[in-house]
Amino acid sequence: MKRNFLKYCSIMILGIVLHNDVRAQDPEFTQFFANPLYLNPAFAGSKRCPRINLNYRNQWPALSGTFVTTSASYDQHVESIYGGLGLLVTNDKAGEGTLNTTTINAMYAYQLKLGRKFSLRFGVQASYFQKSLDWSKLTFGDMIDPRRGFVYQTADVPRGGSVGNMDFSAGILGFSENFYIGFSAHHLTEPNESLVTGTSPLPMKLSGHAGAVIPLGNSKYSTNDATLSPNIMYRSQGTFQQLNMGLYVNTKNIVFGAWYRNKDAFIALIGVKSDIFNFGYSYDVTVSKLTNASGGSHEISMAINIPCKPKKRQFRTISCPSF
Protein backbone atom coordinates (compact mmCIF):
# COMPACT_ATOMS: atom_id res chain seq x y z
CA MET A 1 0.00 0.00 0.00
CA LYS A 2 1.39 3.34 -1.06
CA ARG A 3 1.36 6.59 0.87
CA ASN A 4 -0.66 9.26 -0.88
CA PHE A 5 1.65 12.19 -0.07
CA LEU A 6 4.78 10.68 -1.71
CA LYS A 7 4.78 12.87 -4.80
CA TYR A 8 8.52 12.95 -5.40
CA CYS A 9 9.85 9.42 -5.52
CA SER A 10 13.53 10.34 -5.21
CA ILE A 11 12.94 12.05 -1.87
CA MET A 12 10.91 9.07 -0.68
CA ILE A 13 13.54 6.54 -1.70
CA LEU A 14 16.36 8.52 -0.12
CA GLY A 15 14.39 8.65 3.11
CA ILE A 16 13.97 4.90 3.10
CA VAL A 17 17.67 4.38 2.60
CA LEU A 18 19.04 6.86 5.14
CA HIS A 19 16.62 6.50 8.06
CA ASN A 20 16.58 3.34 10.11
CA ASP A 21 13.10 3.86 11.60
CA VAL A 22 11.24 4.08 8.27
CA ARG A 23 8.59 1.36 7.92
CA ALA A 24 7.60 0.43 4.39
CA GLN A 25 4.21 -0.71 3.12
CA ASP A 26 3.23 -3.41 0.65
CA PRO A 27 2.04 -2.77 -2.91
CA GLU A 28 -1.69 -3.17 -3.31
CA PHE A 29 -4.00 -4.54 -5.98
CA THR A 30 -7.46 -3.08 -6.49
CA GLN A 31 -8.67 -6.36 -7.99
CA PHE A 32 -7.63 -8.32 -4.92
CA PHE A 33 -9.86 -11.33 -5.72
CA ALA A 34 -8.16 -11.53 -9.13
CA ASN A 35 -4.89 -12.06 -7.25
CA PRO A 36 -6.11 -14.51 -4.58
CA LEU A 37 -2.73 -15.88 -3.48
CA TYR A 38 -1.51 -12.32 -2.81
CA LEU A 39 -4.58 -11.67 -0.66
CA ASN A 40 -4.53 -14.86 1.41
CA PRO A 41 -2.38 -18.03 1.18
CA ALA A 42 -5.45 -20.10 2.15
CA PHE A 43 -6.70 -19.59 -1.44
CA ALA A 44 -3.96 -21.92 -2.77
CA GLY A 45 -5.70 -24.79 -4.58
CA SER A 46 -9.19 -23.46 -3.85
CA LYS A 47 -10.28 -23.95 -7.49
CA ARG A 48 -9.03 -27.59 -7.37
CA CYS A 49 -7.91 -27.56 -11.01
CA PRO A 50 -4.73 -25.70 -12.05
CA ARG A 51 -5.08 -21.92 -12.18
CA ILE A 52 -2.78 -19.18 -13.51
CA ASN A 53 -3.21 -15.52 -12.52
CA LEU A 54 -1.39 -12.56 -14.10
CA ASN A 55 -1.74 -9.02 -12.71
CA TYR A 56 -0.43 -5.60 -13.69
CA ARG A 57 -0.90 -2.29 -11.85
CA ASN A 58 0.31 1.19 -12.80
CA GLN A 59 -0.31 3.56 -9.89
CA TRP A 60 -0.32 7.34 -10.36
CA PRO A 61 1.15 7.39 -13.91
CA ALA A 62 0.93 11.20 -14.14
CA LEU A 63 3.46 11.65 -11.31
CA SER A 64 7.22 11.48 -11.62
CA GLY A 65 8.39 8.10 -10.31
CA THR A 66 5.23 6.04 -10.76
CA PHE A 67 4.69 2.70 -8.99
CA VAL A 68 4.41 -0.33 -11.31
CA THR A 69 3.61 -3.70 -9.78
CA THR A 70 3.29 -7.05 -11.56
CA SER A 71 2.61 -10.55 -10.31
CA ALA A 72 2.22 -14.08 -11.64
CA SER A 73 0.90 -17.09 -9.76
CA TYR A 74 0.07 -20.77 -10.21
CA ASP A 75 -1.90 -23.00 -7.87
CA GLN A 76 -3.79 -26.28 -7.80
CA HIS A 77 -5.12 -28.92 -5.42
CA VAL A 78 -2.92 -32.00 -4.98
CA GLU A 79 -4.86 -34.97 -3.65
CA SER A 80 -1.79 -36.91 -2.46
CA ILE A 81 -0.90 -34.20 0.08
CA TYR A 82 -4.53 -33.38 1.00
CA GLY A 83 -4.22 -29.73 0.12
CA GLY A 84 -3.39 -26.99 -2.35
CA LEU A 85 0.01 -25.77 -3.50
CA GLY A 86 0.71 -22.29 -4.82
CA LEU A 87 3.60 -20.27 -6.22
CA LEU A 88 3.47 -16.47 -6.46
CA VAL A 89 6.12 -14.10 -7.86
CA THR A 90 5.72 -10.32 -7.49
CA ASN A 91 7.81 -7.39 -8.67
CA ASP A 92 7.38 -3.78 -7.57
CA LYS A 93 9.22 -0.88 -9.23
CA ALA A 94 9.21 2.61 -7.73
CA GLY A 95 10.66 5.68 -9.42
CA GLU A 96 11.08 4.07 -12.85
CA GLY A 97 13.08 1.20 -11.37
CA THR A 98 15.05 3.24 -8.83
CA LEU A 99 13.78 0.98 -6.04
CA ASN A 100 13.06 -2.58 -7.13
CA THR A 101 11.58 -5.39 -5.01
CA THR A 102 11.09 -8.99 -6.15
CA THR A 103 9.40 -11.58 -3.94
CA ILE A 104 9.01 -15.35 -4.43
CA ASN A 105 6.28 -16.99 -2.36
CA ALA A 106 5.48 -20.70 -1.89
CA MET A 107 2.34 -21.77 -0.04
CA TYR A 108 0.29 -24.74 1.10
CA ALA A 109 -3.40 -24.78 2.11
CA TYR A 110 -5.35 -27.57 3.79
CA GLN A 111 -9.14 -27.83 3.46
CA LEU A 112 -11.31 -29.14 6.28
CA LYS A 113 -15.00 -29.92 5.73
CA LEU A 114 -16.87 -29.03 8.91
CA GLY A 115 -20.33 -29.99 7.79
CA ARG A 116 -22.62 -30.47 4.86
CA LYS A 117 -22.50 -26.75 3.93
CA PHE A 118 -19.41 -25.20 5.52
CA SER A 119 -15.65 -25.68 5.03
CA LEU A 120 -12.43 -24.15 6.36
CA ARG A 121 -9.09 -23.68 4.63
CA PHE A 122 -5.81 -23.04 6.45
CA GLY A 123 -2.83 -21.64 4.53
CA VAL A 124 0.84 -21.08 5.30
CA GLN A 125 3.39 -19.21 3.18
CA ALA A 126 7.17 -18.95 3.03
CA SER A 127 8.74 -16.11 1.05
CA TYR A 128 12.08 -14.72 0.00
CA PHE A 129 12.39 -11.09 -1.09
CA GLN A 130 15.20 -9.15 -2.76
CA LYS A 131 15.15 -5.34 -2.58
CA SER A 132 17.64 -3.27 -4.58
CA LEU A 133 18.39 0.41 -5.08
CA ASP A 134 19.89 2.02 -8.20
CA TRP A 135 21.86 4.98 -6.79
CA SER A 136 22.60 6.27 -10.31
CA LYS A 137 18.92 7.29 -10.63
CA LEU A 138 18.86 9.37 -7.43
CA THR A 139 19.26 13.15 -7.48
CA PHE A 140 20.82 15.35 -4.77
CA GLY A 141 20.93 19.07 -3.97
CA ASP A 142 24.60 19.49 -4.90
CA MET A 143 23.79 18.41 -8.49
CA ILE A 144 21.65 21.51 -9.16
CA ASP A 145 22.74 24.61 -11.01
CA PRO A 146 20.33 27.54 -10.34
CA ARG A 147 19.92 28.22 -14.05
CA ARG A 148 20.68 24.94 -15.81
CA GLY A 149 19.16 22.41 -13.39
CA PHE A 150 20.75 19.01 -12.65
CA VAL A 151 24.14 19.31 -14.37
CA TYR A 152 26.75 18.48 -11.69
CA GLN A 153 28.04 15.20 -10.29
CA THR A 154 27.07 14.57 -6.68
CA ALA A 155 29.65 14.19 -3.93
CA ASP A 156 27.37 11.71 -2.16
CA VAL A 157 28.85 8.22 -1.85
CA PRO A 158 26.51 5.25 -2.58
CA ARG A 159 25.66 3.29 0.56
CA GLY A 160 24.13 -0.14 0.25
CA GLY A 161 22.72 -1.69 -2.90
CA SER A 162 20.50 -4.65 -2.11
CA VAL A 163 19.10 -6.74 0.71
CA GLY A 164 17.40 -10.14 0.83
CA ASN A 165 15.52 -11.89 3.59
CA MET A 166 13.04 -14.65 4.40
CA ASP A 167 9.44 -13.94 5.36
CA PHE A 168 6.44 -15.96 6.59
CA SER A 169 2.66 -15.53 6.41
CA ALA A 170 -0.54 -17.43 7.23
CA GLY A 171 -4.26 -17.25 6.50
CA ILE A 172 -7.65 -18.86 7.07
CA LEU A 173 -10.84 -19.02 4.98
CA GLY A 174 -14.34 -20.09 5.92
CA PHE A 175 -16.96 -20.55 3.22
CA SER A 176 -20.28 -22.04 2.23
CA GLU A 177 -22.05 -21.99 -1.12
CA ASN A 178 -23.01 -18.32 -0.92
CA PHE A 179 -20.87 -16.79 1.83
CA TYR A 180 -17.14 -16.50 2.57
CA ILE A 181 -14.95 -14.84 5.16
CA GLY A 182 -11.17 -14.81 5.54
CA PHE A 183 -8.25 -13.43 7.49
CA SER A 184 -4.54 -13.30 6.67
CA ALA A 185 -1.41 -12.14 8.47
CA HIS A 186 1.62 -11.31 6.32
CA HIS A 187 5.20 -10.64 7.51
CA LEU A 188 4.77 -12.54 10.78
CA THR A 189 8.45 -12.09 11.64
CA GLU A 190 8.62 -8.45 10.42
CA PRO A 191 11.85 -9.05 8.47
CA ASN A 192 14.57 -6.42 8.16
CA GLU A 193 14.64 -4.75 4.73
CA SER A 194 17.16 -1.97 5.43
CA LEU A 195 19.48 -1.23 2.52
CA VAL A 196 22.10 0.27 4.82
CA THR A 197 23.32 -0.47 8.36
CA GLY A 198 20.70 -0.69 11.08
CA THR A 199 17.21 -2.12 10.85
CA SER A 200 14.06 -1.25 8.96
CA PRO A 201 11.43 -3.89 9.80
CA LEU A 202 8.61 -4.57 7.36
CA PRO A 203 5.46 -4.19 9.52
CA MET A 204 3.03 -7.06 9.83
CA LYS A 205 0.04 -6.69 7.49
CA LEU A 206 -3.36 -7.89 8.71
CA SER A 207 -6.21 -8.35 6.22
CA GLY A 208 -9.82 -9.32 6.78
CA HIS A 209 -12.26 -9.90 3.93
CA ALA A 210 -15.83 -11.13 3.59
CA GLY A 211 -18.54 -11.32 0.98
CA ALA A 212 -21.60 -13.07 -0.34
CA VAL A 213 -23.05 -14.26 -3.64
CA ILE A 214 -26.73 -13.42 -4.05
CA PRO A 215 -28.63 -14.95 -7.01
CA LEU A 216 -30.76 -12.38 -8.80
CA GLY A 217 -33.53 -14.86 -9.42
CA ASN A 218 -34.99 -16.82 -12.27
CA SER A 219 -37.40 -14.80 -14.32
CA LYS A 220 -38.17 -13.73 -17.87
CA TYR A 221 -35.38 -11.15 -17.71
CA SER A 222 -32.74 -12.88 -15.56
CA THR A 223 -31.41 -16.33 -14.76
CA ASN A 224 -29.52 -17.85 -11.89
CA ASP A 225 -26.33 -17.13 -13.83
CA ALA A 226 -26.77 -13.49 -12.77
CA THR A 227 -25.61 -12.66 -9.23
CA LEU A 228 -24.93 -9.71 -6.98
CA SER A 229 -21.82 -9.96 -4.82
CA PRO A 230 -21.24 -7.37 -2.06
CA ASN A 231 -17.76 -7.46 -0.51
CA ILE A 232 -15.69 -5.72 2.14
CA MET A 233 -11.98 -5.80 2.95
CA TYR A 234 -10.07 -4.18 5.80
CA ARG A 235 -6.27 -3.90 6.00
CA SER A 236 -3.89 -2.64 8.63
CA GLN A 237 -0.11 -2.29 8.28
CA GLY A 238 1.89 -0.21 10.71
CA THR A 239 0.04 3.08 11.11
CA PHE A 240 -1.80 2.64 7.81
CA GLN A 241 -5.42 1.46 7.70
CA GLN A 242 -7.59 0.84 4.66
CA LEU A 243 -11.23 -0.09 4.11
CA ASN A 244 -12.53 -1.30 0.74
CA MET A 245 -16.28 -1.58 0.15
CA GLY A 246 -18.04 -2.49 -3.05
CA LEU A 247 -19.99 -4.97 -5.10
CA TYR A 248 -19.88 -6.98 -8.29
CA VAL A 249 -22.74 -7.61 -10.71
CA ASN A 250 -22.10 -10.91 -12.48
CA THR A 251 -23.85 -12.05 -15.64
CA LYS A 252 -22.98 -15.13 -17.63
CA ASN A 253 -19.97 -13.57 -19.38
CA ILE A 254 -19.67 -9.96 -18.15
CA VAL A 255 -18.81 -8.58 -14.71
CA PHE A 256 -19.26 -4.99 -13.52
CA GLY A 257 -17.81 -3.69 -10.28
CA ALA A 258 -17.91 -0.47 -8.24
CA TRP A 259 -15.77 0.16 -5.15
CA TYR A 260 -14.79 2.83 -2.68
CA ARG A 261 -11.44 2.82 -0.88
CA ASN A 262 -11.64 5.11 2.14
CA LYS A 263 -10.16 8.59 1.63
CA ASP A 264 -8.32 7.38 -1.46
CA ALA A 265 -10.30 6.39 -4.55
CA PHE A 266 -13.52 5.44 -6.29
CA ILE A 267 -13.01 2.37 -8.48
CA ALA A 268 -14.81 1.14 -11.60
CA LEU A 269 -14.26 -2.35 -13.00
CA ILE A 270 -15.35 -4.34 -16.04
CA GLY A 271 -14.46 -7.93 -16.83
CA VAL A 272 -15.21 -10.72 -19.27
CA LYS A 273 -15.16 -14.35 -18.25
CA SER A 274 -15.58 -17.88 -19.52
CA ASP A 275 -14.99 -21.32 -18.08
CA ILE A 276 -11.30 -21.10 -18.99
CA PHE A 277 -10.37 -17.43 -19.36
CA ASN A 278 -11.03 -14.26 -17.32
CA PHE A 279 -9.93 -10.72 -18.17
CA GLY A 280 -10.53 -7.60 -16.08
CA TYR A 281 -9.72 -3.90 -16.20
CA SER A 282 -10.19 -1.39 -13.38
CA TYR A 283 -9.51 2.32 -12.97
CA ASP A 284 -9.01 4.13 -9.65
CA VAL A 285 -10.30 7.72 -9.58
CA THR A 286 -8.17 9.43 -6.94
CA VAL A 287 -10.12 11.41 -4.33
CA SER A 288 -7.24 12.12 -1.94
CA LYS A 289 -5.20 15.35 -1.92
CA LEU A 290 -3.42 14.18 -5.08
CA THR A 291 -6.75 14.45 -7.01
CA ASN A 292 -6.32 14.58 -10.80
CA ALA A 293 -2.57 15.22 -10.52
CA SER A 294 -1.98 11.50 -9.93
CA GLY A 295 -3.55 10.27 -13.16
CA GLY A 296 -5.46 7.64 -11.17
CA SER A 297 -4.40 4.00 -11.33
CA HIS A 298 -4.79 1.39 -14.05
CA GLU A 299 -4.98 -2.32 -13.32
CA ILE A 300 -5.28 -5.35 -15.59
CA SER A 301 -5.89 -8.94 -14.53
CA MET A 302 -5.97 -12.18 -16.44
CA ALA A 303 -6.77 -15.69 -15.21
CA ILE A 304 -6.50 -19.03 -16.97
CA ASN A 305 -8.42 -21.95 -15.45
CA ILE A 306 -6.96 -25.19 -16.80
CA PRO A 307 -9.49 -28.04 -17.03
CA CYS A 308 -8.70 -31.26 -15.15
CA LYS A 309 -10.29 -34.65 -14.59
CA PRO A 310 -13.40 -34.70 -12.39
CA LYS A 311 -12.73 -35.61 -8.77
CA LYS A 312 -14.21 -38.86 -7.50
CA ARG A 313 -15.03 -37.34 -4.13
CA GLN A 314 -16.82 -34.00 -3.81
CA PHE A 315 -14.51 -30.99 -3.50
CA ARG A 316 -16.15 -27.77 -2.37
CA THR A 317 -14.88 -24.68 -4.18
CA ILE A 318 -15.23 -21.04 -3.11
CA SER A 319 -17.80 -18.90 -4.94
CA CYS A 320 -15.98 -15.59 -4.43
CA PRO A 321 -15.47 -13.21 -7.39
CA SER A 322 -12.62 -13.59 -9.85
CA PHE A 323 -11.93 -9.85 -10.17
Task: Tell me the per-residue pLDDT of 246-279, one tens digit each, with 9 for 90 and over.
Answer: 999 999 899 999 999 988 899 999 999 999 999 9
Percent of the chain with pLDDT over 70: 85
- pLDDT for res 154: 72
CA distance 174 to 111: 10
Q: For residue 262, is it within any domain? A: yes
Q: Is the pLDDT of residue 314 over 80?
A: no
- pLDDT for res 1: 45
In this structure, the number of other CB atoms found within 10 A of the CB of residue 155 comes to: 8
SS3 of residue 2 by DSSP: coil
- pLDDT for res 83: 94
- pLDDT for res 103: 98
Q: For residue 310, is it within any domain? A: no
CA distance 53 to 73: 5
> Cα angle vertex 222, ends 218, 223, to 5°?
50
Q: For residue 323, is it within any domain? A: no
Residues 49-92 have pLDDT tens digits of 999 999 999 988 877 768 899 999 999 999 999 999 999 999 99
Q: For residue 322, is it within any domain? A: no
Average pLDDT over residues 289-293: 67
Instruction: Classify residue 107 by burial, with Cβ atoms within 10 Å: 0-12, 13-18, 19+.
Output: buried
Instruction: Classify residue 32 by burial, with Cβ atoms within 10 Å: 0-12, 13-18, 19+.
Output: buried
Residues 171-218 have pLDDT tens digits of 999 999 899 999 999 999 999 988 877 788 999 999 999 999 999 876
Strand partners, 167: 127
Residue 214 structural domain: 9-305
Average pLDDT over residues 298-313: 89
Look up the CATH number of the domain holding residue 104.
2.40.160.40
CA distance 298 to 265: 12
Check if the beta carbon of residue 103 is closer than 8 Å to that of residue 71: no
Residues in the chain: 323
Q: For residue 311, is it within any domain? A: no
DSSP letters spanning 55-79: EEEEE-TTSSS-EEEEEEEEEEEEG
Residues 145-177 have pLDDT tens digits of 777 777 667 767 666 678 999 999 999 999 998
The model carries a pTM of 0.87
In a 13 Å sphere around the CA of 122, the CA atoms on its Cβ side amount to 5
As for how many domains the chain has, the answer is 1
Q: For residue 313, is it within any domain? A: no
- pLDDT for res 266: 95
- Choice between 10 and 202, residue whose per-residue pLDDT is larger: 202
Sort strands 119-133 and 144-145 into parallel, antiparallel or unpaired.
unpaired
Q: For residue 312, is it within any domain? A: no
